[in-house]
Structure 1
Amino acid sequence: MRKFLLPLLFMLLFIAESLFVQFLPADVLGQNRILAPRFLFSGLLLLTIFVGRKQGIIYAAIFGLIFDIVYIEIIGIYLFLFPFVAYLISKIMHVLQANMIVAFVVSVFGIALLEVGVYEMDYLIHVTNLEFIDFLNLRLYPTLILNAAFLLIFIFPLKRYFEKYADALRDE
Structure 2
Amino acid sequence: MRKFLLPLLFVFLFILESLFVQLVPADLFGHNRIIVPHFLFTGLLFLTIYVGKKQGLIYGAIFGLLFDVVYIEIIGIYLFLYPFICYLVSKIMHIMQTNIVIAFLVSIFGIALLEVGVYEMDHLIHVTTLDFMSFIHLRFYPTLILNAIFIVIVGYPFKRLFEKHAESLRAD
Same fold flag (TM > 0.5): yes
Percent of pairs identical after alignment? 70
User: Which residue in 2 is equivalent to 1:23?
Assistant: 23
Shift of 1:32: 1.0
CA distance in 2, matches of 1:26, 1:56: 31
1:84 aligned onto 2:84: yes
Give the structure 2 partner of residue 39 of structure 1: 39
Q: Which residue of 1 aligns with 2:115?
A: 115
Secondary structure at 1:56's aligned position in 2?
helix
Instruction: State the partner residue of 1:66.
Output: 66
After the TM superposition, which segments of 4 or more aligned residues of structure 1 sit over 3 Å from their partners?
Answer: none
Q: CA deviation at 1:28?
A: 1.3
Structure 1 residue 125 displacement after superposition? 0.3
Helix, strand or coil at the partner of 1:168: helix
2:56 equivalent in structure 1? 56
Structural RMSD (CA): 0.5
Measure the CA separation in 1 of the matches of 2:38 and 2:26.
Answer: 17
1:145 matches 2:145: yes
Q: Give the Å deviation of 1:30.
A: 2.5
Q: Report the Cα offset of residue 10 of structure 1.
A: 0.2
Paired position in structure 2 for 1:129: 129
Task: Describe the SS at the equivalent of 1:63.
Answer: helix
Letter in 2 for 1:47: L
Shift of 1:26: 1.6
| Aligned-pair CA distance for 1:100 | 0.1
Give, in whole Å, the separation in 2 of the partners of 1:106 and 1:17: 21
TM-score norm. by structure 2 comes to: 0.99
Aligned counterparts of 1:21 and 1:154: Cα–Cα separation in 2: 18
Secondary structure (helix, strand or coil) at the match of 1:26 reads coil
- What is the CA–CA distance in structure 2 between the aligned matches of 1:29 and 1:20, rounded to whole Å? 14
What's the CA shift for 1:130?
0.5
Gaps of 5+ in 2: none
Aligned with 1:30: secondary structure?
coil
Distance 1:71 1:17 in 2: 11
